[in-house]
Amino acid sequence: MSTPETIAVISSVTALLAVLLGPLVSLWAAQRQSRVTVLSANRQTWINTLRDLIAEYISITGLMHAGDWSSRTEIEFDQKMERLALLSAKVRLMLNPKEEDHQRLGQLLGDLLLTMGGRAAAGDKRDAQRARTLVEELVPLSQSILKREWVRVKRVE
């Protein structure tokens, strides 16, 4: 083969490869971008949901400790406790049991629930000081977990 023929063959093969590989590369890039977008949106939803659940949990425990339950019915107390149990279960199911800070968060929520004591008649069993101490650890730990996940969203991991 002469030099002009070799150049023509190389040019033809290069054009053929470009025509075949171009759409494949574009498809691969589009699929990857779609996956990243879905993952990022799911992680953002996880962050927002976890933040809302923890905030509600802290809010309810604070109100229960601050309130005078002697004039309220046991049903009201039980409803609040049921809500706390549900919130705790939801948060625990969202956490990664392999990460130490996630384990600690679940433990703090359980410990905070125990500070409630019993119903209205057993109000003296509530431990508001212990609850405050737990919340003082719970808030920064939650913020740390949420911040780390937010950074992952921004990095598109």
Cα angle, residue 76 at apex, residues 70 and 77 outer, rounded to 5°: 65
The CB density around residue 105, as the number of other CB atoms within 10 Å, is: 23
Going by C-alpha positions, the residue among 71, 144, 156 that lies closest to residue 108 is: 144
Looking at residue 4, its pLDDT comes to 74
What is the model's pTM? 0.73
Looking at residue 29, its pLDDT comes to 66
Residue 112, C-beta contacts closer than 8 angstroms, at least 6 positions apart: 57, 58, 61, 131, 134, 135, 138
CA dihedral for 104, 48, 113, 134, sign (positive or negative)? positive
Q: State the virtual CA torsion across 78, 80, 84, 90 in degrees, nearest 10.
A: 100
Phi and psi angles of residue 119, each rounded to the nearest 5 degrees, phi first: -70, -170
Domain coordinates in residue numbering, the chain = 42-155
Task: Please give the Cα distance from 135 to 39 (Å, whole number).
Answer: 31
List of the chain residues with pLDDT < 50: 121
Going by C-alpha positions, the residue among 129, 131, 141 that lies closest to residue 105 is: 141
Helix residue spans in 67-156 (DSSP H): 74-94, 100-114, 128-155
Looking at residue 37, its pLDDT comes to 66
